[in-house]
Structure 1
Amino acid sequence: MSLHTTENIEKTTLIRKYSPLTCDVLSELRNSGEYCDVILRTDDQHLFKVHRAILCSCSSFFRALFTNGMNETTDQIVDIHDINGDIMNLIIDYVYTREIKFNDNNIYEILSAANQLQVLELFSLCENYLYEKLNPENILGIREFASFFYCKKLCEQTEIYLLTNFTEISIKSQEFLELNLEQIIDILNSDELNIKSEEAVFDAVIRWIDYKVDERKKNIVDLLKCVRLGLLTTNFFIEKVKCHPYIINNETCKPLVIDTLKYLYELDVDTYQDLFVQNPIARPRIPHEIIFVCGGWSGGSPTSVIELYDTRADKWFQLPFNDRFPRAYHGIVTINNFIYVIGGFDGMEYFNSCRIFDLKILQWNEIAPMNVKRCYVSVTVLDGLIYAMGGFDGHSRQSTAERYSPNSNQWLPIPPMHAQRSDASATVLQNRIYICGGFNGQECMNSAEYFDPKTNQWTMIAPMRNRRSGIGVIAFHNSIYAIGGFNGSTRMNSGERYNPKTNTWLSMPDMYNPRSNFAIENKLKFFLHRREN
């Protein structure tokens, strides 16, 4: 399992629990043998004089070993099995100095030994090192290794990397070709597989079969069921799939081929819209292929309609899963394939109610209401928690803010902002929540502030150069960008950038068109304008 690194050895230092001087003294005591009270012996007969107390301070394994009342509590020589002397020496050096050198040849043995000895800080360092070395050629091997040793963080990281970079991995990785049938089906069935088109999945299936064609071609129907055939273009399906040698004369594939042809025909004549996401052969992969629009102001009144944009068909579809009540001027965020709709206004009533839409089962549910009614609310997500700030309750603009935990289904107040504001916009940068601009009931605002969950405090920052209500705010490359908005007399096409290090705003080039009350996305850098009369 190669890491394909450009440097063979890297020195990794963890934040020290001991001062450098303390580490130097402890290391000197170990090297001289002073006050050592036990000798560790590995299977290859390497001996290490150490201090029980030092080992206990960073390893629950040694803490249990030396305090269990058994022979190891008093024995002068204690045997350590299944770890060779060279690796044991590196781990003991780390315990005393908090430094260690990783390379391609020792990282897996060090992680295994750190796991066995329960040196958790070193175990975490190993996970970080392997994550930094991930590439399309080694991802699947590291993923399997992480699973074997129950490396929870590394398992999650490799899964995200695999799903995000699947197309490149399926083309470049020899390890991909070595996967067994169960493993490849598990990957291809994921709703979160990030692909530009379903053609990449079909091509990956064929590459995997071609690698051991005599052994694997019998599995074509099982693998074809993993391909969302209804998301392929009609031309690709007819020219590449239906006529493929593995499929054309395979009787077990015929029902799939017929169902797909029927679906693609109905889609092409535009009579299949309402059932689009319900057909299993055309179930969109989430979240890379579809855009949801929920509620809003339409035709002079709020709406409950949900529309979906299918990038493959280049069409909008109105879904039969509308929310129970119309809602506009609400906040909306996503967490783990759930869409959260926060607060809003139905033309008569201001809401503190909140709704959740499950993208997997396409179902709406009510969640706990906020403590305060809020429309024109600013919302964002940090560390899996939803923050709702400011807004209008029908009487006054709010300075209050609150935080929602999906795990407990509970909203709890956080300290109020320094200013009342609705029509503001919020974003997250460096584990802080920034909120900028807005309207306080009398004037459009240029003030901005941030909330730090660690200190549970709001802090004012330098004001923007322009007043902006209905502003677009986003964090990108360690800066906050504030774009467009309404200054009290006109909608603007100007923007400015905030540098947290210098606490200053700098102007940026103007947009082509003035706009306010729009959506902004940092991955594609696009803007969605909301027209207002």
Structure 2
Amino acid sequence: MEFNSKHRKLSKSKNSVRTATATKPRLTKRRIIARKRKCVCLPENYSVVEFPAIWNELRQNGQLCDGVIVCKDKKSIQVHRAILSAVSPYFKAIFVNSLKKGKPEETEIIVDVPSYYMNLILDYAYTGTCVVTAENVEYLLPYADQFDVVGVIQLCCQFLLQELRPHNCLGIFKFARCYFCSELENKGKLFIRQNIARILKECSEFKLLSHEELEDILRDDELNVRNEEIVFQAVKMWVEHDLENRRKYIPSLLSCVRYGHIGYKYFKSKILQWQPVIDDEKCQEALYPAVVFLTVLDSRPDGEADLNDPLARPRIPYEILFAVGGWSAGSPTSFVETYDTRADRWFLSIHMDLSPRAYHGLCALNNLIYMIGGFDGSDHFNTVRCYDPVANTWHERACMYQARCYVSVVVHDGLIYALGGYNGRTRMSSVERYYPQKNQWEMTTPMNKQRSDASAASLGGKIYIVGGFNGQEVLSSAEIFDSETKQWSFIRSMLSPRSGVSLIAYRDSLYALGGFNGYSRLNTGERFCPQRGSEWQEVTEMFSARSNFATVLLDDMIFVIGGFNGSTTIPHVECYDGDTLEWYDAAPMNLTRSALSACVLAGLPNARSFSYLAKAVPAAGADQVYHS
């Protein structure tokens, strides 16, 4: 579905007037009631309206009709004035002749609208719904707006919201703004912020933005960019589309880039050597503070930017990493740390209503965090707790059938699966799954092997589990579960036995990382691609050997967090980039811990409260503990 920003504007001006005939009134775009209408395009409690079937039956049979609509294409449509007036204050005002008190009521109205669109509006008037498509929505919404048919406006906006894609979002955003659909406009703007990297690649309309629109997007704290090079590339792409006419905006646009998050080498070779910058003294002046800042930063041994400097102000992350519980300083902990990937900073919080827990499972579903099973140093749990990051509250959920620590947890098809684990007596092969809507667990097909301290992931509509410990040996075997047939099958074993392993689905493959092979902790990893063959292949080694650590996907990279290296618990964090096939260091946690779990939540409405901009103390680099 494509949206052209140069679409025909049917009713932007609320005071435009059409020429009236001598005998019959034509509708105008003048509002009968001069008041500012509250946006109703995307109500929170939206639902399809059901109208009595008899209404449409009378319409189709032409029975009891008492009015006529004459369309632009000269087609006449018989209507029931009361039914049409019920959904349109505009038609009601015309039919009852409210502007001409004492005059006879109108029974025929001429509209400057094709009969196809008028019939769609009548479909809604008689049935409570109408067919909205990519082909008709661009005109149907303005006509519905013209006649004040709120229900059709809502249908159109719901459709457009579902159709938001990187290639069309700018057109839909402008369309919503043109027709005063402020809620759709806001959601469109949010989509643009969150998907800017894909928009640069897929949306041809990006190059047609005005410089004010572009600046508004690029200056936004919530712009979701993995690095600031993307912001510069956006400026470069837009300017070079019409260099002569846009050259004058370059100094202002260059100030949208937060240079404290750009490498000095990239800055020198790509930005300072950009021809429009070389040719323009004003551009060079605009970049002078960044030159000084990055030169000083490059000369420092630690190479860390002062995030309190405006040039290094971090943006608000779209994704927030939560690391929960674990084993630290000789005992389980209830501490929660959140990671701001834009600032590369961890923040520690104490959740007073969360009991210490280690060797538990953790997963994210519907922007809630579920903490499953675990061990507190004496008891093995079957309990489940759920964290709402918006309300900042923990709640009990239905208990599992069996206590499980060293449990493998995965989300698949909207359900949570708890696989294997240790109940204090035996390693288990049993599997159960949780239905969040029902708040119920049910037992399902057990695995072929007993597995505790294994790891599971979902990929391509299947659940995979690898490694673990069965009470006698560390396992290299792997299994796959088909939720349709409820059958487990073995797949090719890993190259190495691994207990305390982390399995994660990344792009089209499964990555089994780290763990304990029965002799030592591992820094190795291996990759399995179900679509490309049946062999595991070695991947680049991590910097740190580790077992019982947490693994998440963040910024399209694999992050590994904490763990046990064979002699001590560690706070170290590193990330794997599938493009370069390399590992990179990230900021360490505040706590050293293993047996922790982590997950990522995206698009939180209160993401700012978990960000550096909300958490940072005035003194750069100071640590702070936050109580909740």
User: Which structure is richer in relative contact order (CA contacts within 8 A, separation 6 or more)?
Assistant: 2
Does residue 123 of structure 1 match 2:123?
A: no
Matched AA of 2:326 = G
Instruction: Report what 2:493 is aligned to.
Output: 510
Instruction: Report what 2:195 is aligned to.
Output: 164
Q: Are the aligned partners of 1:356 and 1:367 in contact in 2 as well (CA < 8 Å)?
A: no
* Counterpart Cα distance in 2 of 1:161 and 1:495: 41
- Deviations, residues 31-90 of structure 1 (Å, cap 9, x unaligned): 113355x6474785854424857996xx6x679979xx9979x97859798865431211
* Cα drift, residue 95 of structure 1: 5.6
Does residue 396 of structure 1 match 2:379?
A: yes
Instruction: Report what 1:296 is aligned to.
Output: none
* Counterpart Cα distance in 2 of 1:379 and 1:178: 44
* Counterpart Cα distance in 1 of 2:465 and 2:173: 40
- Deviations, residues 387-444 of structure 1 (Å, cap 9, x unaligned): 1111112221111112222232221211111110112132322322222222211222
Q: Please, which of 357, 361, 384 is the counterpart of residue 367 of structure 2?
A: 384
- Deviations, residues 369-389 of structure 1 (Å, cap 9, x unaligned): 345432222222222222111
Instruction: Report what 2:272 is aligned to.
Output: 242
Matched AA of 2:216 = D
* Counterpart Cα distance in 1 of 2:448 and 2:91: 61
Instruction: Report what 1:410 is aligned to.
Output: 393
Alignment CA distance shift 1:399-1:254 (3 Å): same
Structure showing the higher helix proportion among its residues: 1
SS at match of 1:507: strand
Identity between Structure 1 and Structure 2 (%): 28
Map 1:483-522 to 2 at 5 A: 483-522=466-505
Alignment CA distance shift 1:26-1:430 (3 Å): farther
Instruction: Report what 1:206 is aligned to.
Output: 236
Alignment CA distance shift 1:430-1:215 (3 Å): same
Structure 2: unaligned runs, 5 residues or longer: 5-46, 515-545, 548-563, 567-628
* Counterpart Cα distance in 1 of 2:181 and 2:112: 18
Map 1:348-387 to 2 at 5 A: 348-356=330-338, 364=347, 366=349, 368-370=351-353, 372-387=355-370
* Counterpart Cα distance in 2 of 1:359 and 1:495: 32
Q: Please, which of 321, 329, 348 is the counterpart of residue 347 of structure 1?
A: 329
Q: Please, which of 33, 43, 63 is the counterpart of residue 34 of structure 1?
A: 63
* Cα drift, residue 203 of structure 1: 3.5
* Counterpart Cα distance in 1 of 2:302 and 2:113: 62
SS at match of 2:325: strand
* Counterpart Cα distance in 2 of 1:109 and 1:174: 22
Does residue 219 of structure 1 match 2:249?
A: yes
Q: Are the aligned partners of 2:362 and 2:372 in contact in 1 as well (CA < 8 Å)?
A: yes
Structure 1: unaligned runs, 5 residues or longer: 5-14, 288-335
* Counterpart Cα distance in 2 of 1:446 and 1:55: 65
Matched AA of 2:209 = L
Alignment CA distance shift 1:117-1:367 (3 Å): farther
Q: Please, which of 449, 459, 463 is the counterpart of residue 476 of structure 1?
A: 459
Instruction: Report what 1:11 is aligned to.
Output: none
Q: Are the aligned partners of 1:369 and 1:411 in contact in 2 as well (CA < 8 Å)?
A: no
Alignment CA distance shift 1:514-1:459 (3 Å): same
* Cα drift, residue 462 of structure 1: 0.9
Matched AA of 2:455 = G
SS at match of 2:250: helix
Matched AA of 2:462 = S
* Cα drift, residue 225 of structure 1: 1.8
Map 1:164-203 to 2 at 5 A: 164=195, 166=197, 169-170=199-200, 173-190=203-220, 198-203=228-233
* Counterpart Cα distance in 2 of 1:419 and 1:40: 69
Q: Are the aligned partners of 1:228 and 1:283 in contact in 2 as well (CA < 8 Å)?
A: yes
* Counterpart Cα distance in 2 of 1:515 and 1:266: 45
Q: Are the aligned partners of 1:139 and 1:162 in contact in 2 as well (CA < 8 Å)?
A: no
* Counterpart Cα distance in 2 of 1:367 and 1:40: 69
SS at match of 1:275: coil
TM-score by length of 1: 0.72
Q: Are the aligned partners of 1:110 and 1:126 in contact in 2 as well (CA < 8 Å)?
A: no
Map 1:312-327 to 2 at 5 A: none
Instruction: Report what 2:609 is aligned to.
Output: none
* Counterpart Cα distance in 1 of 2:479 and 2:346: 40
Alignment CA distance shift 1:140-1:485 (3 Å): same
Does residue 451 of structure 1 match 2:483?
A: no
Map 1:23-172 to 2 at 5 A: 27-35=56-64, 39=67, 41=69, 47-50=77-80, 77=107, 85-93=115-123, 96=126, 100-102=130-132, 104-113=134-143, 116-119=148-151, 123-124=154-155, 127-128=158-159, 131-132=162-163, 134=165, 136=167, 138-148=168-178, 149-150=180-181, 152=183, 156=187, 159-160=190-191, 163-164=194-195, 166=197, 169-170=199-200
Q: CA RMSD in A?
A: 4.3
Does residue 427 of structure 1 match 2:410?
A: yes
The number of aligned residues is: 463
Instruction: Report what 1:320 is aligned to.
Output: none
- Deviations, residues 183-204 of structure 1 (Å, cap 9, x unaligned): 1122223466566764443333
Matched AA of 2:116 = D
* Counterpart Cα distance in 1 of 2:340 and 2:215: 24
- Deviations, residues 151-195 of structure 1 (Å, cap 9, x unaligned): 74685367436643536x436644222212221122223466566
Q: Are the aligned partners of 1:3 and 1:133 in contact in 2 as well (CA < 8 Å)?
A: no
Q: Are the aligned partners of 1:202 and 1:227 in contact in 2 as well (CA < 8 Å)?
A: yes
* Counterpart Cα distance in 1 of 2:423 and 2:84: 59
Alignment CA distance shift 1:507-1:79 (3 Å): farther
